[in-house]
Amino acid sequence: MRRGIQYGIGGAALLLSLVLIAGGVVLVKAMPIGTGYVAKYICSSTFISQRDPKDVFKEDVAPVNPLARLVAFDIDRGQRSVRATSFGLFSRTAIYREGCGCALVIGTTEAQMRAQKLVPPDFSRTRPSPGQNLPWPEGTAGPVDPVSLGVDATRLEQALTAAFAETGTERKRKTRAVLVVYRGRLIGERYAPGFHKDMPLLGWSMSKSVTNALVGILVGEGKLDIKQPAPVPEWRQPGDARQAITLDQLLRMSSGLSFEEVYAPFFDATQMLYGSPDFAVFAAGKLFEAKPEARWKYSSGTANIVARVIRQTVARDYPYYYTAFYEKLFDRIGMTSAVLEPDASGTFVGSSYAFATPRDWARFGLLYLHDGVWQGRRILPAGWVDYTKTPTPAAPEGAYGALFWLNAGAADHPGHRRWPDVPKDAYAAEGFQEQKVIVIPSKDLVMVRFGATSDRKAWNTNRFILDVLSALP
């Protein structure tokens, strides 16, 4: 009897030890990711969006990061950095640099990162802005009278109100900004308390669509060919079948490379964004899980491989390669608030980290609505927008093109679309928590929506678009 009790106690102790060891392993692997998320998000929101960090932590960080409540952070406004710590064991620091935002210090030192040649030493984020008295998008004046364009002002107001309304359930929409652009004019604009037209907001995966634009510009200049194998150093070894992957396949997420687009500890997406010093190296290290073109799989990793290709291409002509983004894209279309944040290696994060004001995101949508032409000046090469909107064969329901989401519908069932009641020519840049720039060429319409919608079921894009369309002539 006594020996049985001893065995029972021993077994319980062994089980407890195993649980503690397993818990320790989880803690060691998960907490650096959770801590990095806090440092990076607080840094960007504080120094780019100029938001109150306490509000950001409560409204943005804690609801999506279950480890955040175990993390403390300290902001050094003099050095423009944020240090996050947990249990006194895990620490991550994010630093801000003018012109390129925040980045986590991983695999290098803060001094080495601040010495990176991304923007010129005298770079100022305050670049020439559009005229104050001119209507948007040429200037910064507010929305025009929608009635002047034949729009039902009452229904438009109802659509804006509905976009911000909460349903009374636990599923919160938390809409923060909505803009409507019709026939090239801003006709509707509304912000949640604490947000305004001059606040740059994170687009998350809308950043991928900005990456699309940068590739398009380089294609137009003859510096990239999307049908050729992508120039990826990690694939140059003899016999590496990944050498055949084209830039087109990366843009369309049909490369066949493995990548777990899951935003939780232990998965590729979070390990790349919050635990890796070089996102392109991380993604390029992945192996095939399918043949190229055989299947479509959403991957932030491939977008960052493309970002490094862009960097390497423009760096040949620009000692401070970020300058090319402003000269070739942002300043040309008046998108003067735009910021692309890099990883620790200095490559901009083409998957996830583009900031701009909602008005500037609307300018970006207008560029695509007008086939890549801005006020008579071609920015994207002829045919690029059509290429972007062409459904990727393996993507279900014709739902994905080249770093843009589509509403094309399945080839054999055109009615099976992401937004079934919306024109099939609609397409969009989309990001985490229902950030959207929606373009509908047949309606001469661009819509922008920002929010902190953690539960996707709380926001209905199909309904939102229909509400706006009901106001149009």
Work out the mean pLDDT of the chain and round it to a whole number: 93
Are residues 202 and 328 located together in one domain of the fold?
yes
Are residues 280 and 201 located together in one domain of the fold?
yes
What are the CA-CA distances from residue 88 to residues 73, 169, 252 (Å)?
12, 38, 43
The domain total for the chain is: 2
pLDDT tier, 415 (very low <50, low <70, confident <90, very high otherwise)? confident
Segment among 19-33, 272-286, 375-389 with least mean pLDDT:
19-33
CB 120 within 8 A of CB 127: no
Are residues 376 and 228 located together in one domain of the fold?
yes
Are residues 349 and 449 located together in one domain of the fold?
yes
CB 337 within 8 A of CB 293: no
Are residues 152 and 93 located together in one domain of the fold?
no
The phi and psi torsions of 466 (rounded to 5 degrees) equal -60, -40
pLDDT tens digit string along 209-233?
Answer: 999 999 999 999 999 999 999 999 9
pLDDT tier, 265 (very low <50, low <70, confident <90, very high otherwise)? confident
CB 16 within 8 A of CB 24: no
CA angle, residues 58, 275, 310, in degrees to nearest 5: 105
* b/e sequence 260-282, b meaning 16+ C-beta within 10 Å: beeeebeebbbbbbbbbbbbbbb
Is the per-residue pLDDT at 23 higher than 60? no
Decide if 391 is inside a domain: yes
Are residues 87 and 28 located together in one domain of the fold?
yes
Give the torsion sign (CA, 432, 204, 367, 389): negative
Q: What are the residues whose beta carbons fall under 8 Å from the beta carbon of 314, sequence distance 6 or more?
A: 218, 321, 324, 325, 328
Name 177's bridge partners: 191, 450
| 67, 97, 127 - which closes a domain | 97
Structural domain that includes position 72: 2-97
Are residues 85 and 157 located together in one domain of the fold?
no
Give the tokens for residue 319: 């000692």
CB 267 within 8 A of CB 299: no
User: Helix/strand/coil (H, E, C) string of 364-406?
Assistant: HHHHHHCCCEECCEECCCCCHHHHHHCCCCCCHHHCECCCCEE
**Residue 269 to residue 341: CA distance in whole angstroms:** 17
**Residue 371 to residue 147: CA distance in whole angstroms:** 26
Task: Select from 269, 362, 250, 268 the least CA-distant residue to 307.
Answer: 250
pLDDT of residue 22: 40
Is the per-residue pLDDT at 18 higher than 70? no
Are residues 184 and 86 located together in one domain of the fold?
no
In 3-state terms, the chain is what percent helix, strand and coil (to 5)?
A: 40, 15, 45
Decide if 129 is inside a domain: no
Decide if 242 is inside a domain: yes
Q: Which helix (H) or strand (E) holds 190?
A: strand 185-191
Region 422-432: what's the mean pLDDT? 97
pLDDT of residue 468: 98
Is the per-residue pLDDT at 16 higher than 90? no
Segment among 114-123, 272-281, 373-382 with least mean pLDDT:
114-123
Q: What are the residues whose beta carbons fall under 8 Å from the beta carbon of 254, sequence distance 6 or more?
A: 292, 293, 294, 295, 296, 297, 392, 393, 394, 395
C-alpha atoms less than 13 angstroms from C-alpha of 316 in its C-beta half-sphere: 9
pLDDT of residue 20: 37
| 62, 97, 132 - which closes a domain | 97
**Residue 214 to residue 325: CA distance in whole angstroms:** 8
Is the per-residue pLDDT at 21 higher than 50? no
Region 281-297: what's the mean pLDDT? 97
Is the per-residue pLDDT at 194 higher than 70? yes
Instruction: Name the burial class of residue 170, with classes exposed (0-12), middle (13-18) and buried (19+) by CB atoms within 10 angstroms of its CB.
Output: exposed
Give the type of residue at 120.
P
Distance of CA 91 to the CA centre of its chain: 25
Of 299 and 454, the one with more pLDDT: 299
pLDDT tier, 127 (very low <50, low <70, confident <90, very high otherwise)? low
pLDDT of residue 331: 95
pLDDT of residue 414: 77
Task: Select from 304, 290, 298, 306 the least CA-distant residue to 257.
Answer: 290
pLDDT tier, 471 (very low <50, low <70, confident <90, very high otherwise)? very high
**Residue 339 to residue 323: CA distance in whole angstroms:** 11
Are residues 159 and 249 located together in one domain of the fold?
yes
pLDDT tens digit string along 64-114?
Answer: 998 899 999 999 999 999 999 999 899 999 999 999 999 999 999 999 999
pLDDT of residue 26: 61
Are residues 214 and 71 located together in one domain of the fold?
no
Region 188-216: what's the mean pLDDT? 98
Decide if 118 is inside a domain: no
Are residues 93 and 201 located together in one domain of the fold?
no
pLDDT tier, 15 (very low <50, low <70, confident <90, very high otherwise)? very low
Percentage, residues of the chain above pLDDT 90: 86
Task: Select from 437, 388, 336, 97 the least CA-distant residue to 214.
Answer: 388
Kindly report the CATH number assigned to the domain that includes residue 179: 3.40.710.10
The phi and psi torsions of 347 (rounded to 5 degrees) equal -85, 130
**Residue 192 to residue 183: CA distance in whole angstroms:** 25
CB 161 within 8 A of CB 470: no
| 97, 115, 138 - which closes a domain | 97
pLDDT tier, 25 (very low <50, low <70, confident <90, very high otherwise)? low
Decide if 132 is inside a domain: no
Decide if 102 is inside a domain: no
Q: What are the residues whose beta carbons fall under 8 Å from the beta carbon of 322, sequence distance 6 or more?
A: 99, 100, 118, 119, 123, 340, 348
Decide if 127 is inside a domain: no
Are residues 368 and 305 located together in one domain of the fold?
yes
**Beta strand segments in 40-106, E:** 72-76, 81-86, 90-97, 101-104
Give the tokens for residue 452: 């902190």
Give the tokens for residue 146: 């929608």
pLDDT of residue 129: 58
Instruction: Name the burial class of residue 19, with classes exposed (0-12), middle (13-18) and buried (19+) by CB atoms within 10 angstroms of its CB.
Output: exposed
Decide if 463 is inside a domain: yes
